[in-house]
């Protein structure tokens, strides 16, 4: 009973919880991979493993990824005397920065407080890059009305975030 409890503890106390069936499939995939390597002296492909286990290749990939230990973004992957390169440097996304994420939330919240007509005009003018004349033709109002509604919407957004 004690050995069973120790096994359960070791199995269940991982940083990320993975279902037993997925873990079992991963361990079977590793065994098949080793078996194929012993027989052919070549690395087994995902397709070979999936065929041997009679499962989809996506299931094999998912299961093998699921048993990988997570690593810190602060983990060094390259070290040259005084210069370290970290995992974060390798996966950095300059397009979706924290600042951009915060701005997008702010813009999204501001847009919720506008009327449908104002949202429509702002979306077309700012996000779609259309001219006031194009927007006016599309929604059936004058260019002067588009200008006035756009100006008022922007004023209201500025007041909200001052």
pLDDT, position 142: 93
Rounded to whole angstroms, how far apart are CA atoms 14 and 142? 63
Of residues 80 and 111, more confidently modeled: 111
Is 93 within a domain? no
Q: Report yes or no on 78 lying in a domain.
A: no
On the question of pLDDT at 96 being above 70, the answer is: no
CA-atom Rg of the chain in angstroms: 28
Where is pLDDT greater, at 21 or 84? 21
Domain of residue 144, CATH code: 1.10.10
Q: What is the pLDDT of residues 39-68, one digit of tens each?
A: 999 999 999 999 999 999 999 999 998 888
Cβ pair 112, 156 in contact under 8 A: no
Choice between 125 and 18, residue whose per-residue pLDDT is larger: 125
What is the pLDDT averaged over residues 86-98?
71
Cα–Cα distance measured from residue 50 to residue 39, given in angstroms and rounded to the nearest whole number: 17
pLDDT tens per residue, range 62-79? 999 888 877 777 888 777
pLDDT value, residue 31: 94
Mean pLDDT over the full length of the chain: 85
Q: How many domains does one find in the chain? A: 2
Whether 108 is in a domain gets the answer no
Domain end point (choices 39, 70, 101): 70
Cα–Cα distance measured from residue 23 to residue 99, given in angstroms and rounded to the nearest whole number:
38
90, part of any domain? no
Judge if 121 and 65 occupy the same domain.
Answer: no
Determine, yes or no, domain membership for 30.
yes
Considering the domain architecture, whether residues 66 and 119 belong to the same structural domain is answered as no
Location of structure tokens 């079977």? 28
Place of tokens 């104002």: 118
Q: Is the pLDDT of residue 30 over 90?
A: yes
Residue 108 parent element (H or E): helix 98-112
pLDDT the model gives residue 150: 92
Strand 83-86 and strand 76-80: pairing?
Answer: antiparallel
Of 16, 49, 70, the residue at which a domain comes to its end is 70
Does any domain span residue 23?
A: yes
Q: Tell whether 104 is covered by a domain.
A: no
Which domain covers residue 29, as residue numbers?
Answer: 2-70
In a domain, 103, yes or no: no
Looking at 70, 96, 129, which one is the last position of a domain?
70
């Amino acid at each position: 009973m004690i050995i069973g409890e120790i096994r359960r503890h070791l199995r269940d106390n991982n940083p990320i919880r993975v279902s037993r069936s997925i873990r079992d499939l991963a361990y079977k995939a590793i065994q098949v991979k080793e078996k194929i390597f012993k027989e052919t002296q070549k690395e087994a492909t995902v397709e070979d493993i999936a065929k041997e286990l009679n499962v989809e290749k996506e299931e094999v990939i998912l299961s093998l990824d699921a048993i990988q230990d997570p690593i810190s973004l602060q983990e060094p992957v390259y070290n040259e005397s005084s210069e370290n390169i970290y995992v974060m440097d390798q996966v950095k996304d300059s397009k979706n920065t924290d600042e951009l994420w915060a701005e997008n939330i702010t813009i999204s919240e501001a847009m919720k407080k506008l009327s449908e007509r104002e949202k429509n005009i702002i979306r077309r003018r700012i996000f779609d890059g259309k001219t006031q004349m194009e927007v006016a033709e599309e929604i059936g109002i004058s260019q002067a009305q588009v200008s006035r509604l756009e100006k008022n919407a922007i004023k209201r957004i500025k007041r909200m975030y001052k």
